[in-house]
Structure 1
């Protein structure tokens, strides 16, 4: 260690408080960088494990291989592992109540395949020999066939072929068509004992004709072509360099597991990695930019304190290069201790955070409840963190180091840059003196004399204020957006059933749903898609430019709901008699929730379709082009319908009773497009119970005609996701503000220490404790006002910009000035500065005036 290294080390030891605060700022910054890299690694690891859980741990699938080729795959140095599955064929399942899935699909899997094919037991165990069978629970809730453990079944297994082309076997990707007769070619009897029930495998497409059942693979299955699943080893090569080597020696793979491959190490060129990398890069840029600025503050203060020392070094022969590296070495010495602590703190902090939010993540529908988040610390992530941290610290030291290198002995002695007062400075101190007396004048002059240090302190406080107000506003907007997605939904769930029944006849699934104890009310609505002829219709100006036809929706509701709507709109039921003379009476809904622009500002408003009620409406239904006539009996601006589509659909809506619907559709020739939905309201507090019961009924439905949606569930997931985002965002802001706080404490404590003689002089000329405290409070007030003068305009600009960009999308809500947040933030900043200054001056007040005045600077 040379003399300059020793000097730098001793300087750090002497200025322990500044060293401690600078180190704390670096630790927090490094912890944030580490947390970002660890979360990115953990997210990619989670997505890979989720893909493996759903589709299996394999990448390539080869079929039609001979024994030599299979042996080659097992011994190739690029292959990590293989497992083999035999597709034994199909067997008729006569008990199946799903006409599109009339078969068993039998597969035989080796021991490793059971572990890596993505199979998940519900009950029982895995097969141990070729006489035992593992069946999917899908056959029970979709096919209506109850299979019990220990049950023995005999299956006639063979290839599935069309009767007209028996030489072309069909597979799981060929859906069953009842209009094309099929048969099982060369069926062989096989006896099985059911030993396990598994979840439906993702390897079974929803359109496949057979329910998957798996047995243990014997050494040879004559007449069966095995499918070999392969996972490759990687040495950092790109996929296009790895795959062809196998494909050239064999031939192109029969299947590629893209769900897993997109998350494998060498597959950098994929959308998921690009998404994570982009988000992480943006976050790292924000962290490093903010940290460089805030850590720079500490080194700038250090340079101000040590300017005389650098002048002395220059006077005894230190070169500019040596002075430059003195400052850089100071930063690197602090980093030597701070970076490991920051990395450890970031890893521990992210581990705790993921542990806390893991239950919330698993509750989200687009994630898997069976695959937990793990904290993954990879060497590349840690190495990237260290590199980014070193770059950050060097950048923060660079400008102070350049200033130190350029400092001459004369400049160090004279220190001409310390105080530079201009005319406006004298004006501000004069005004402060008139308003608050000598204490106010001294407070302003103290800030002016502090120059760059005061400016950096104010800027640090302003950054904290900007971050707090901006992020809080973002979260408020997100909460408003989430609330808008469900605020107009009157139903807690709705079910669509496309099964072919008469409109007047109750669907079996709807009957089940109405009988649920968790359901408080229901409303069945059949929507028929049509087109209205626009001639002779008095459309509002908003709809200018529409063509000869405009989309329309006929809403057919049950008679009880229809009678209630008539009463609400003061329409006599006698006016709504049965159709006569080919004219169907109805109520025209004359309101649309539209986004309009006025004076360059967007807002939502209720826009009428028609300015006056027409005599009749001419509508066309289906593709036959026949025109039907509906006579509007009233224009309604509101209807007690559970469906929000009547308001937001953008279609001209006509309400008719379901009793008239059959007549209308009988008169309309050709094909029609419609949907039949049952809207449900839950008993208060039983929304979750109702959703679970609907899901169970959906599983019992044996066709693909049943689907359901719940805005309650969607809103719950949105709120959960919002909570997770809030945890990360507010954690990020807290850490940034902690860096700001550390630098402010460092600046203020150092500034107070440098003003010890000034305070002693003021006390020597008669300034008592009360006036001294008043001066300190006013100085704190001016720091807060300075931060507010910068932070409030910048925050308002950013918030307005964010609001404007959000309004370009699907959401609209009024802009509200966040004055409570801003004023509260300014008050907290002032209180924080006042507390720190009072604490820093506590020791100064106890010092002896004479001894302090006698000290050299």
Structure 2
């Protein structure tokens, strides 16, 4: 151990308190970097697992591969895992109540392909040979046909052709007139050995006409048109385009041109056609690749890592600014030491080494502690917020300890420490022995700059004068403290305003909707099912809604004067037809709506209520403008004649009321005029309207009613839209963001607090001789306390005068960015402001009181005589 190291260690031991304060600052900064880096990596890893579960655990998929071409895939060093799947065909599902899914669809898979498809059993086991099958649970829940484990099913494995004789697969929805034809594949008896959850959408789209059942591939060479799922190695992923082109016996240049849609010459086209004999086409699991390879072309990844990068930069800058103060104070305190070392021949380089050596020793303690604290904090955050991410993003957040992230955190922490110590090291290297021993180089201020306003002197007396001049004299030293408070105050006010606006958006989205559940029913003859929902317990109010559009010649439309004036100035050509939405409600809902508006529905045909307020987009002198207001000028008794857009069938309705008040089924629809009618008055047009009913429900227990509809109502082709769940998901997302933001604020504030504590307490220690001198000439304890309190007030007021406006600007920015659709005016974040004011003064007075207590316990004569604190 050389002399410089011994001096450094001795100084650290002599100033244990300041050393530990600096270590805590380093530890918090390191912990925050570790948390940010590890959380970003945990989110990425969670998204990788999410994509594997929802889109498949593979990188590339090769279709229609013959057995003799499997040699190109097997044994390839760039492929880590292969899976094989074969589509065998359709079988009619007798008794299916879902007219859009009348088939079973048999696929053969090996074990790897079943993992790719994420086959999840609810009962039984996976098939072990090609005479056993596992079936989808949706055959029972959606199709109404129940099979049990142990049942035997005969599957014909047929082809499917539409009415024109075109062969179709699972990507083509069911159409009227299609039929099953002989595929040439052998039919067989299969034993049900397991029941699985419905496969992911990439394996079985929602509109697929067949329920998937799976058997086991025992010998892949007995099949043709094999689908090959390939998972590449890490090395293969780096050269993925070259590897894929090589598997197809195609040059990488031609493969890339083909993938980019670029034109190929005749020779290149021939090579492409040859490659298609190996695989007819190739698809890429792009989202899995993006997350695994960190391809930043994806917006979400860009946002994630940009946010993490910005957060880390903020942490480093804030930490450097805070931690450096410890080294500045250390330099000020040890000027005599550096002056004496310089006087006996220590070079500037050696003095610089003293500062950097101290920094690295403190870092050697603080960084490992910070890493452990960061890992613990990250684990607690994941455990505490995992359910919020699951409910908001449907992603299960798994905590991953990323060693590269930890290594990056260590490097960044070391950089932070070196930057913090850099300025002090530079000053220590340049200081002259005489200046250091005299100690007169730390204060540089002119007589004019230290002049005190007379009103302050009159208001606060001699104590105020001393407090004010001390701050002016040492303003460079205290600037860090002020900025630390300003950053903490501004960030807290801004983020509290962000959370307030976020929660207001979530609350408005839910409470402004008159309905809580919406049930779309697709297909014909669904009115009876819709009426069953109306009669359920817990339904307070409901509307059955069916929509379509009618076209009316534009010269027959009665436009308002406001709209005519606007359109006259557009400079655009007129269009021939105006479109209205026709909304057919069930009679009870239509009668209730009419009664609410104060109009009477008479017996007759095609009476309509016109909703005339529209937000319409128009072009004015080449620019897009929005016209909001009453677009039409129809009166009671007017008739609108037009044609149904789906069939050109003529239709005529009579206006019984013009209003801007909407029924709940169309309260969130704009951009078009709406004619609200009773569906009993459109009997002649029912066959022309879209085969879709929507039931809008106002209730007190949306979750309970949704469960009743899904479990007890034997419907098909429907799903329940629960606004409360959307509200809860939105609120969970904002709460999740809030947890991270407030966690970030707390740690930044802790770094700032340690810095403030270090600055103020050390400053008070360094001024012990000054205070002892003042006491020795007769300053009373009361006047001394007054000086300290006034310094706290000056600190706090100056910090708040800067921090509060900065926080308000942040809150205004959040309101403008997030609250554009809120009708409420901007409100100052008084809660955040008041909490900040209280916290700042409590903190300052607490630290000052602690420091004063230490000083008051010291002997005045010994303090005056002391040369080294």
What band does the TM-score fall into relative to the shorter chain?
A: 0.7 to 0.9
Change (3 A) 1:228 1:414: closer
Q: In structure 2, what is the equivalent of residue 344 of structure 1?
A: 372
What do the CA deviations read for 1:621-653 (whole angstroms, capped 9, x no partner)? Answer: 4347787554434443545x223x346524333
Offset at residue 788 of structure 1 (A): 0.9
Report the TM-score, using the length of structure 1 for normalisation. 0.88
Deviation at 1:268, TM superposition (A): 6.3
- For 2:557 and 2:207, the matched residues in 1 are separated by 48
What is the match of residue 600 of structure 1? Answer: none
Match of 2:254?
Answer: none
Question: Quick one: distance in 2 between partners of 1:154 and 1:52?
Answer: 33
Q: Residues 803-829 of structure 1: CA distance to partner in whole angstroms, max 9, x if unpaired? A: 33345x545541112234223312210
Q: How does 1:99-138 map to 2 (within 5 A)?
A: 99-138=99-138
Distance 1:309 1:688, change over 3 A: same
Normalising by structure 2, we get a TM-score of 0.87
User: Aligned with 1:262: secondary structure?
Assistant: helix
User: Which secondary structure does the structure 1 equivalent of 2:676 belong to?
Assistant: strand
For 1:313 and 1:716, the matched residues in 2 are separated by 66
For the residue of structure 2 that corresponds to 1:545, the secondary structure is helix
Q: CA deviation at 1:734?
A: 0.3
**1:563 CA drift (Å):** 3.4
For 1:620 and 1:199, how far apart are their aligned partners in 2?
48
Q: What is the Cα-based RMSD across aligned positions, in Å?
A: 3.2
SS in 1 for 2:753: helix
Provide Cα deviations, 1:382-441, integer angstroms capped at 9, x if missing partner.
12111221222222222222222222223322524415254353224x433311222222
Structure 2 alignment gaps of length 5 or more: 251-274, 568-573, 618-625
Match of 2:469 among 445, 453, 458: 445
1:679 partner SS: strand
Out of 778, 784, 787, the residue aligned to residue 766 of structure 1 is: 778
How big is each residue's C-alpha offset from its partner over 1:278-335, in whole Å with a ceiling of 9 and x where there is no partner? 2221221222222222222222222222233333333333333333333233222211
Match runs of 1:17-416 below 5 Å: 17-65=17-65, 69-71=69-71, 73-160=73-160, 170-186=168-184, 188-202=186-200, 203-219=203-219, 222=222, 224-235=224-235, 237-248=238-249, 251=278, 254-265=282-293, 270-364=298-392, 366-368=393-395, 372-412=396-436, 413-416=438-441
Partner of 2:825: 814
**Mapping 1:774-785, distance limit 5 Å:** 774-785=786-797
1:681 and 2:698 are equivalent in the alignment? yes
Corresponding position of 1:578: 604
Does the alignment pair 1:658 with 2:679?
Answer: yes
Does the C-alpha gap of structure 1 residues 785 and 363 become closer, same or farther in structure 2, counting only changes over 3 Å? Answer: same
> Which residue pairs with 1:801 in the alignment?
813
- Check if 1:483 corresponds to 2:498: no
Change over 3 Å in CA distance of 1:5–1:80 after alignment to 2: same
Secondary structure of 1:129's match? coil
Counterpart-to-counterpart distance in 2, 1:555 and 1:520: 21
Residue 493 of structure 2 is matched in structure 1 by 469
Residue 599 of structure 1 is matched in structure 2 by none
Q: Classify the secondary structure of the residue corresponding to 1:423.
A: coil
Q: SS of the residue aligned with 1:838?
A: helix
Change (3 A) 1:824 1:219: closer
Aligned-residue offset at 1:731: 0.5
User: How far off is 1:724 after superposition?
Assistant: 1.0
**Residues matched between the structures, number:** 820
Distance 1:154 1:662, change over 3 A: closer
Contact 2:35 2:375 in 1 (8 A): yes
After the TM superposition, list the runs of 4 or more consecutive aligned residues in structure 1 that deviate by more than 6 angstroms.
162-165, 624-627
Secondary structure of the residue that 1:425 maps to in structure 2?
coil
**Residue 518 (structure 1) aligned to one of 526, 534, 538:** 538
- Is 1:632 matched up with 2:655? yes
Deviation at 1:247, TM superposition (A): 3.1
Distance 2:616 2:847 in 1: 53
1:31-83 C-alpha deviation (Å, 9 max, x unpaired): 11111111111111111112222343322334555556435533222222223
Structure 1: state its 5+ residue gaps: 596-603
Contact 2:160/2:178 (8 A) holds in 1: no
Q: Would the aligned equivalents of 1:465 and 1:825 in 2 still touch at CA under 8 Å?
A: yes
Matches within 5 A, 1:695-710: 695-696=710-711, 700-703=714-717, 706-710=718-722
Give per-residue Cα distances to partners, 1:193-242, cap 9 Å, x unaligned: 11111011121223333321112222367454443332222237342344
Question: Which residue matches 1:527?
Answer: 547
